[in-house]
Structure 1
């Protein structure tokens, strides 16, 4: 399996398929690159598709060190440098988009041609100035409750969160729910907790007007994780955006409507 050592020695797993302009797909919280299994084959017919497992996730090293999104940004740059990637289209799903924001803050867009935001908010809390937090109402008290459940009843937490990854009103098949939960719980509890603390401590709204590459907003209209039209706020804040809304998807349009998602991504990359 292909690995790149991070600057602290943690092994970072990636998969590379196809050739041409690189399209890098970054997964969500406690997930991994395998979650893009419905996309890689179609996208790699035209581009080099690379999935990266963040430290502590998937097949990357599980050492309990440097578990911050700032470090994950450093890790992404290490993979990009090792593979000599240029003109990258960098796609982040959920927490993966927070990884992208950290990358943009630390390294800018020198290596990038574009960004794809897959159903994510730049700020996870809702307050009087921002309605687009997790579940539309996450506050500090609720975030602490989530943290407690991570270390006291992780299986129970994922039994609640995994179904919420899909469209409101849908009934995902039990095999899918079991696979998602099983993959998620391979991430150590302390890694999950550290990443949650890291992402909830960040507010990327001030960064958005400074993004100087095109951004595709790929959001599910029936998202339970982000039930408010966060894409409208993002369109106002980010200078160059295009929009792909998925009527039958929730938080995971790449899985729920893969053909439509793949087409939207291909159209976006071709437009750059």
Structure 2
């Protein structure tokens, strides 16, 4: 089923709902769409009710100049779950989609969650302790990305292209694959992307990351390129969580079979 759910007057989110059983809800990252999870939908809808969402101002959802922050995204998620009458889902966020999961926990707690899978996102993006903390990058580098790229459509194209080729996958992308990724991102206008970028970078969800892992089953899947920092950081912040390392930032797409194996092992423990 493909549908649109109104989360406030004039703002609809595009949602796909496939299969039956225990519920998995996939939330894409910064400016990406339901399309990135097509392999997960095909695989998991055979055994689970599998839901994917285009967040506000992403993909086929309404483009709006307000609410482009993760506090609003967390509230939007709750409205989608209510509209679909979903109980006890496992929420699965990728990249900035993890911020939506943590914001949901901040606002609504974990009582109605069965578990969470957090794909390759630190709970606090920026830190002065860059040699000890798992962060998105150095402050100057993040500021340069915002200032130099997210000011016009070409800059956004260049930013996503560079990120896709250098961080998201571990092999060379074909022209068709790169175009597919960039075109998804460009459905979000650059001026909205800039708002989302700054909202994400200045978020701090360490408290929710710690408490969530204490209250519900939690799996982190982190990319190989920063696993030496991410794993000890998570072991200290969220020691109850399971932590697996795989591929690049988009490992669930590039190494989907191995990712599905990790997910299935986690899901088996929840049955």
Contact kept? 1:213, 1:240, Cα under 8 Å: no
Higher helix share: 2
Residue 216 of structure 1, aligned match among 212, 216, 219: 219
Q: What is the CA distance between 1:174 and its match in structure 2?
A: 2.2
Contact kept? 1:124, 1:138, Cα under 8 Å: no
Cα-to-partner distance string for 1:36-93 (whole Å, 9 max, x where unaligned): 0111111111100100110000110012121111000010000000011111000000
Matched, 1:14 2:30: no
TM-aligned CA distance change 1:270 to 1:179, over 3 Å = same
Contact kept? 1:85, 1:111, Cα under 8 Å: no
Q: What is the CA distance between 1:239 and its match in structure 2?
A: 4.5
Contact kept? 1:57, 1:187, Cα under 8 Å: yes
CA distance in 1, matches of 2:166, 2:30: 13
Cα-to-partner distance string for 1:10-36 (whole Å, 9 max, x where unaligned): 101110111011100000101011100
Contact kept? 2:133, 2:233, Cα under 8 Å: no
Contact kept? 2:151, 2:190, Cα under 8 Å: yes
Q: What is the CA distance between 1:227 and its match in structure 2?
A: 6.2
1:74 paired residue number: 75
Contact kept? 2:227, 2:245, Cα under 8 Å: no
2:235 paired residue number: 235
Cα-to-partner distance string for 1:196-248 (whole Å, 9 max, x where unaligned): 111111111233221110111112214xxx465313311321252123222xx
Cα-to-partner distance string for 1:177-199 (whole Å, 9 max, x where unaligned): 11101111111112111111111
Contact kept? 1:131, 1:228, Cα under 8 Å: no
1:30 paired residue number: 31
CA distance in 2, matches of 1:7, 1:228: 42
**Matched position secondary structure for 1:268:** helix
**Matched position secondary structure for 1:34:** helix
Q: What is the CA distance between 1:105 and its match in structure 2?
A: 0.5
2:265 paired residue number: 267
**Matched position secondary structure for 2:121:** coil
Q: What is the CA distance between 1:261 and its match in structure 2?
A: 0.8
TM-aligned CA distance change 1:96 to 1:89, over 3 Å = same
**Matched position secondary structure for 2:221:** strand
CA distance in 1, matches of 2:32, 2:167: 12
Contact kept? 2:126, 2:202, Cα under 8 Å: no
1:251 paired residue number: 249
Worse-superposed segment, 50-59 or 196-205:
196-205
**Matched position secondary structure for 2:129:** coil
1:84 paired residue number: 85
TM-aligned CA distance change 1:9 to 1:111, over 3 Å = farther
1:131 paired residue number: 133
Unaligned stretches of 5+ residues in structure 2? none
Contact kept? 2:223, 2:245, Cα under 8 Å: yes
